[in-house]
Chains A and B, each alone.
Chain A
Amino acid sequence: MLKAIVGAGASLPFMTGLAYAQSDGIDKAISDAIAPIVNPIVSTVFYSVPIFGTNFPLIVGWLVVAALVFTFYFGFIQFRGFKHSVELVRGDYFDPKDAGEVTPFQALATALSGTVGLGNIAGVGVAVYLGGPGATFWMILAGLLGMASKFTECVLGVRYRNEYEDGTVSGGPMYYLSKGLSEDGKATLGKFLAIFFSICCIGGALGGGNMFQANQSFAQISSIIPFFEGKGWLFGLIMAAVVGIVIIGGIKSIARVTEKVVPGMAIIYVGAALVIIIMNIGEVPAAVNAIITGAFAPTAVAGGAIGALIQGFKRAAFSNEAGIGSASIAHSAVVTKHPVTEGYVALLEPFIDTVIICTMTSLVIIITGSWVPDSGVTGIALTSKAFEADIAGFGYILAIAAVLFAFSTMISWSYYGLKAWTYMFGEGKTKELVFKSIFCVFVVIGASMSLGPVIDFSDAMIFAMAIANIIGLYMLMPKVKALLADYHERLASGELKKVK
């Protein structure tokens, strides 16, 4: 999730060292006008309590506690079921007769392209800068726990999706909140949570999933192509045109190219990180040691061990979206004989996103010795510096990766927002077109203006999605447990079996 770099605005510390695209004139006037309205919402969602001198946003605790609860409730499913997850993604259980349908691999890849992004590159830079190497330990732990949240929400997404006569499907938290809770006679609460979720999802899609992406990728591009400097509107128009061609024009080929390039970029990124780690293999034991000792007794970190923990947890929660509910929308489309298979597939996302990719970034920063406390070098600049230390010119690759990641995240979020929109206003071509047009306009706004408060607001919206979603997950988790038992019964009886 790209917005992870900026987080929740001036009231929070992790904005340090990051620049918005522009900050003068009209932008400032709009920002000043909007601030009094959005600031209370932002500070409510990101309400922080001081713990040992560091501000701890409660919403991060909310996500991590939920992940912990699901981990215990489902008996450490992310570890016990890991092998089964890999088998499912590999297609071991995919019936050849279903060839042509969405495979588990495709659902996973699509959901990942929505979450893997600048958060993995720049967000980790922020975490290590503020929390020291020890933040990595807590980030990995939170990533591992988050796998259980993803499992829970994606099982429910498939279980309560709507399948229409024309063969299309709609699913996600708004459907399981309303349908699932009404089964228990809590229809009103379910409806309320579903609407609450949808409103936040639309806000999050336009903000964190759109304006923020446009804004930060423009900041990257203008730093390497001087022509674009101060021409955010132009960059925004180009980006909006490309996004519009895909989501309104239905020209899937562009998206398809990106969807091929994005995993390629991710592989190049992880490959480069691996190369650096191998080049410095002698430093790895010391780095691992720094991560572990830093987790419990850090030096030069504000707030000590708690400070490292907060940074690590925050980054993991912001990066892999576990508990936010967004991935559940993408996973609902899969063809499966049982909803539980989708939970197993989805639990790999936080693993790939956080435990693998984020950890790689962090190791590179640590072993190259790029982390200098209080130096002001943070975020993508820190990551870039670390990679450049061993691979000259990697900054350009990072910039290209930033734009592509931003684009694929926008495409994913335009769909999440659209689903929330149609949930509230009903399905229909015209209604969809209205949302898609609004989405494109926001690309230009995001790239050309420095709307700090608006972006903060949208970030708050994304995390507010977790408020409604996790309340629902707690109430619906017994149903998931029943489905899980049923699934394993069918596996044991041989009704569901490997095809290869």
Chain B
Amino acid sequence: MTDTFIVGFDGSDAAQRAVDFAAARAKLANAKLHLVQVLEWSPYSFHTPEELAERHKRREQELDRAQGIVQPVTDKLNASGVEATCEARHGNTAEVLSAIAADKTAVQIIIGRAGASGFAGRLLGSLPITLAQASTVPVTIVP
């Protein structure tokens, strides 16, 4: 069975570096890539009644927009000979990436690092650290 690498993607330069890195490894290992764009979302956030009524519509729009960002990158990978699939999903980034990795029995998760290691990074917490602690598969962080 072909190994699967999960790649966290958000359209940023860091994410693109992660994709490039993953593509190079995938070629060597004959693995396939699964790009995941997570839309940060909490089941406990608060909304006005009007937002509740529009939520379903907004969700579709958000997913469409995310798919519009990740799909071309996936297409390009396939064209270059690396087998790749993609999806967009709402949730907590670390949790969603771990869940999808478990679901697809992926061998590792690859993410980019934006480099916010200063005060903001510490204050807000960072995805690489959260993911490293939560993931059940190895995590590769591309600087």
Contact = CB atoms under 8 A, between A and B. Distances in A.
Interface in B55-107: 55-57, 59-60, 62-63, 89-91, 96, 99
Contact of A110 (B49, B54, B89): B49
Top 6 closest A-B pairs, CB basis? A100-B90, A167-B57, A259-B46, A333-B52, A415-B49, A99-B90
Interface residues of B, number: 26
Contact of A415 (B50, B56, B59, B60): B50
Given A99-B90, A100-B62, A106 B47 contact: yes
Contact of B46 (A167, A256, A329): A256
Contacts of B44: 103, 105-106, 109
A113 B45 CA distance: 13
A322 B1 CA distance: 58
A114 interface: yes
13 contacts: A96-B99, A100-B62, A100-B63, A102-B55, A106-B45, A106-B52, A110-B48, A170-B53, A259-B46, A259-B47, A333-B52, A333-B56, A411-B48
B49 A329 contact: yes
B115 interface: no
Contacts of B60: 167
Contacts of B59: 100-101
B46 A166 contact: no
Interface in A104-133: 105-107, 109-110, 113-114
B39 interface: yes
Contact of A99 (B50, B56, B89): B89
Given A255-B48, A418-B50, 14 more contacts: A99-B91, A100-B89, A103-B44, A105-B43, A105-B44, A110-B48, A113-B46, A167-B56, A168-B54, A168-B57, A256-B46, A256-B47, A412-B48, A415-B53
Most buried by A among B45, B60, B63: B45
Given A106-B52, A168-B57, A252-B51, A100 B46 contact: no
Contact of B48 (A96, A170, A259, A334): A259
Contacts of B49: 110, 114, 329-330, 333, 411-412, 415-416
Interface in A296-330: 329-330
Contacts, number: 95
A99 B46 contact: no
A110 B57 contact: no
Nearest to B44: A105
Interface of A: 91, 94, 96, 99-103, 105-107, 109-110, 113-114, 166-170, 246-247, 252, 255-256, 259-260, 263, 329-330, 332-335, 411-412, 415-416, 418
A335 B52 contact: no
Contacts of A333: 49, 52-53, 55-56
A110 B43 contact: no
Given A96-B99, A259-B48, A412-B49, A169 B43 contact: no
Interface of B: 39, 41, 43-57, 59-60, 62-63, 89-91, 96, 99
Contacts of B52: 102, 106-107, 110, 330, 333-334
B56 A335 contact: yes
A416 B48 CA distance: 11
A102 B57 contact: no
Contact of A169 (B39, B45, B56, B91): B56
Most buried by A among B51, B52, B63: B52
A172 B60 CA distance: 24
Contacts of A109: 44, 46
Contacts of B57: 166-168
Contacts of B41: 99-100
Contacts of A106: 43-47, 52
A255 B52 CA distance: 13
Nearest to A94: B43
Nearest to B54: A168
A106 B43 CA distance: 7
B99 to A, nearest CB: 7
Nearest to B61: A167
A169 B58 CA distance: 12
A73 to B, nearest CB: 28
B55 A101 contact: yes
Contacts of B96: 99
Contact of B43 (A91, A168, A332): A91
Contact of A96 (B46, B53, B91): B91
Contacts of B54: 167-168
Most buried by A among B50, B54, B62: B50
Contacts of B48: 110, 246, 252, 255-256, 259, 411-412, 415
